[in-house]
Amino acid sequence: MGGRQELILGIESSCDETGCAVVAGGRDVRANRVASQVDLHARFGGVVPEVASRAHLEVITAIIDDALEESGTAAPDIAAVAVANEPGLIGSLLVGLSAAKALAWGWSKPLIGVNHIHAHACAPALAGDPVTYPAAALVCSGGHTSLYHCRGPADLQLLGATIDDAAGEAFDKVATILGLGYPGGPAVDRAAAGGDPRAVAFPRTLLDPSSLDFSFSGLKTAVRYHVEGVPGTAAAPGARRGRECLDDTAIRDIAASFQQAVVDVLIEKLRRAVERTAAASIIIGGGVAANTALRAAAAELARETGCPLHCPPPAYCTDNAAMIAALGWHHFTRGAVSGLDLAAAATIKR
Ligand code: KG4
Ligand code: ZN
């Protein structure tokens, strides 16, 4: 990294977390502030886009002030302003992007647009865990499940992605089916800890043998049918259906079996990516990378393949602005800065 230590102010608002961070040299976190909207969306069982944008708007200025104060920095110290401008909820992205543009313009600093999913793959460096490249990176979150061949922190080639639900989305929906509450991923993780992952044989959708894409909607439906019965079919005489008929053991077993099915698919695709790209190391990131079973299975894959695993601590797996500042620094050092006409994009082309 050549010893360069420019301070980048990063802003994240792509979904339901408002974040601002100050990071030096792409790895040294001076401040990392996150305001979560989890409580706001809990009663809806998912993120409501309009509610999310308004909540970002209410806190973004205070979060930026907090990050500057905590890091002891002021405008002259900051080399550039990095912002997640894609992909995400468009209204949410626009709040962070507008704030970043205002700062960049007011402070006369470069603006740097950052891909939120690529930034997840940059998170290990924030925990003092530098990655050896080329790396195979699995980023799985509430909105995305993507596999990359990374030649460097800012040089990612997409190998595969979900064709329907994201892994985190499946966790969230299964948590709702099982009545485990919101956010679903951590709740399923906790419930699964006491369950038998072999109790229910849920499907593993691997698609084509050569495919590195994912599909989780069938698994989600399989859990629903297991709990509620297959629509149009009669329950066996005397049999009862529905979540309220399940005891705690049954819920834990279903949670563990579902989680194992997700992990088996994620790890199988990651294994294929490692082999196909002759990766020197493995990265996992995104909110689902906080999952206990996935972390354990990825560690096992690392042992089997001899590729070191880079898996950030949970606080850097879930959405944060430090990872935006980290990837922003790599863009900055390559001169990849954006204009003040930078647009937000809800989706990205494959
Ligand atoms: O990366 P992230 O914070 O936000 C997005 O970019 O979407 O990921 C959030 C997702 C949610 O679906 C959440 O349920 C899931 O990550 N998640 C987990 C765990 N912690 C968060 N999924 C499984 N196990 C966990 N421990
Ligand atoms: Zn994310």
Furthest-apart CA atoms within the chain: distance in Å: 75
Q: State which ligand 1 atom lies nearest to the alpha carbon of 317.
A: 1
The per-residue pLDDT for range 176-196, each reduced to its tens digit, is 999 999 889 999 999 999 899
* Nearest Cα residue to 343 out of 83, 156, 63: 83
Q: Kindly give the distance from the C-alpha atom of residue 8 to the centroid of ligand 2, in angstroms, as a whole number.
A: 19
Please give the angle made by the CA atoms of 121, 30 and 138, to the nearest 5 degrees. 10
Is 227 within 8 Å of 254 (Cβ atoms)?
Answer: yes
Distance CA 166, CA 170 (A): 6
* Non-local CB neighbours of 204 within 8 Å, separated by 6+ positions: 219, 261, 264, 265, 268
Q: Kindly give the distance from the C-alpha atom of residue 196 to the centroid of ligand 1, in angstroms, as a whole number.
A: 22
| pLDDT for residue 43 | 85
* Non-local CB neighbours of 166 within 8 Å, separated by 6+ positions: 140, 141, 142, 143, 144, 145, 216
* Non-local CB neighbours of 74 within 8 Å, separated by 6+ positions: 68
**How many other CB atoms are there within 10 angstroms of residue 304's CB atom?**
10
Q: State which ligand 1 atom lies nearest to the alpha carbon of 143.
A: 7
Ligand number with the minimum distance to the CA of 36: 1
- Indicate which residue's Cα is closest to atom 2 of ligand 1: 287
- Indicate the SS3 state at residue 214: strand
Q: Kindly give the distance from the C-alpha atom of residue 90 to the centroid of ligand 2, in angstroms, as a whole number.
A: 14
Q: Kindly give the distance from the C-alpha atom of residue 234 to the centroid of ligand 2, in angstroms, as a whole number.
A: 41
Ligand number with the minimum distance to the CA of 258: 1
Q: State which ligand 1 atom lies nearest to the alpha carbon of 318.
A: 3
Query: Which segments in the chain show pLDDT lower than 70?
Result: 1-3, 235-240, 349-350
Q: Kindly give the distance from the C-alpha atom of residue 287 to the centroid of ligand 1, in angstroms, as a whole number.
A: 3
* Nearest Cα residue to 13 out of 320, 266, 265: 320
| pLDDT for residue 241 | 72
- Indicate which residue's Cα is closest to atom 8 of ligand 1: 287
| pLDDT for residue 238 | 60
| Ligand 1 pocket list (CB less than 6 A) | 15, 141-143, 168, 171-172, 183-186, 189, 286-288, 290-291, 318-319
- Which residue among 16, 318, 347, 348 has the greatest number of ligand 1 atoms within 8 angstroms of its CB, and so is best to mutate? 318
| pLDDT for residue 1 | 43
Q: State which ligand 1 atom lies nearest to the alpha carbon of 285.
A: 1
Paired tokens of 212: 């590195």
